[in-house]
Amino acid sequence: MSNTAPIVQDVMTIPRKPVDGMTNIAGLTRDQLRDALIAAGTPEKQAKMRAGQIWQWVYNKGVRDFAIMTNLAKSYREDLARQFIIEIPEVVSRQISEDGTRKYLVRIVGGHEVETVYIPEENRGTLCISSQVGCTLTCSFCHTGTQKLVRNLTAGEIVGQIMLVRDDLNEWPEPGKSPNNETRLLSNVVLMGMGEPLYNFDAVRDAMKIAMDPEGLSLSRRRITLSTSGVVPQIAKTADEIGCLLAVSFHATTDDVRDQLVPINKKWNIATLLEELRAYPRLSNSERITFEYVMLAGINDSDEDAHRLVQLIRGIPAKINLIPFNEWPGAPYKRSSNNRIRAFSDIVHDAGYASPVRKPRGEDIMAACGQLKSATERARKSRARITDETGPADAV
């Protein structure tokens, strides 16, 4: 094996049996947990306190076994264990790129799979999580967009992606020590995996509330970024009910081109989207919006596009994140050349906006934006082909 080959490692392959009639605590909001405890027989007067205690064990300490929750009476712990489970999605496999990026294939109830990507950087570590299996939208440059929506993830499955990576990085705080965002391996979360988070609003909101709760996973709301293709009616609600940072998949400077690339533009066009975005920083008390702009050769990458872009967003506190297109087999576009990306970035930068070019990460393990799930599906298809050609394999 060459030393640049990714390490593929099966972490857990034993499928878990669904447990009938038990309530899963992972993903319940504090209020839902309190109500569930009352329904299970906890006296109403105590329920809030008990919910707080359980909450801290689960989200602050990473404990998923009631027996360890030693500030609860033993008989109460036994009661809980009879009625509740604390379950997060299971890791089917983990791949580690030569650059340290980790891609997890995660299995959710029903046997569907999503991907979660951890990207270590110098002073932080960012986790890219999925909100849906597939997507209802059909952006023409995105591989996830070629796959139908299978289902929305639950709040537990969304927050569970953060928890399973905390497990893998062995990063639950030591008893008595509060977590320190500056030195955490997993310090930031981006909703930029599979799916459109604003079409699964309630589950995304509940999961992010748990992530931001100081007694929960205690990530600052400024370290969580939600990326949307532009679901205009949900943007003010995001500011109001989640309050995290916002990224928007802008990708074009005329409605003609954006209609092609991000078809939701036919419903809410550039002018409508920009109007809504203008209010976001004030409503969410955040500094600026990230405009994501995928660089597609000959489609949206001209000097004129760059000039138009800065005209359009004038007055909105913004950063423009230029994403070199991640190609996938059969994709109808090519990545813009490095020189073109640099020229575009310079124009945007000279107009007064930060215009970083996103460094492709985890390319050797197909972990880049817009490629998620496709690699898994391809792997499954090629395994099926091998099986067809050679007969059933012993272990796949």
Is 115 in the active site? yes
Of 115, 157, 276, 292, which one is the catalytic site residue? 115
229 lines the binding site for ligand SF4 (CB under 6 A): yes
Among residues 26, 119, 137, 163, the one that binds ligand SF4 under rule CB under 6 A: 137
Q: Cβ(143)–Cβ(377) under 8 Å?
A: no
In whole angstroms, how close is the CB of 27 to ligand SF4 at the nearest point? Answer: 22
CA–CA separation, 96 vs 101, rounded Å?
6
In whole angstroms, how close is the CB of 98 to ligand SAH at the nearest point? Answer: 20
369 binding partner (options ligand SF4, ligand SAH, none; Cβ < 5 to 8 Å by kind): ligand SAH
How many residues of this chain interact with ligand SF4, rule: CB under 6 A?
10
In whole angstroms, how close is the CB of 142 to ligand SF4 at the nearest point? Answer: 3
Is 244 in the active site? no
In whole angstroms, how close is the CB of 83 to ligand SAH at the nearest point? Answer: 36
Contacting range for ligand SAH; rule: CB under 6 A; set: 92-100, 279-287, 322-330, 342-350: 322-330
Task: Say if residue 395 is exposed, middle or buried (CB neighbours under 10 Å; 0-12, 13-18, 19+).
Answer: exposed
Closer Cβ to ligand SAH, 42 or 228, answer by number: 228
Tell me the per-residue interface mask from 187 to 206 with ligand SF4, x by CB under 6 A, - otherwise.
--------xx----------
CA–CA separation, 141 vs 82, rounded Å?
48
From 254, 383, 253, select the one nearest 320 (Cα to Cα). 253
From 219, 145, 149, select the one nearest 182 (Cα to Cα). 219
139 lines the binding site for ligand SF4 (CB under 6 A): yes
Sheet holding 245-249, edge to edge: 7-9, 90-96, 102-107, 113-120, 125-128, 188-191, 224-228, 245-249, 289-295, 318-324
Q: Cβ(264)–Cβ(199) under 8 Å?
A: no
Residue type (1 letter), 260: Q
Binding interface with ligand SAH (CB under 6 A): 139, 141-142, 192, 196, 227-229, 249, 292, 294, 323, 325-326, 369-370
Q: Which residues are known to be catalytic?
A: 115, 369
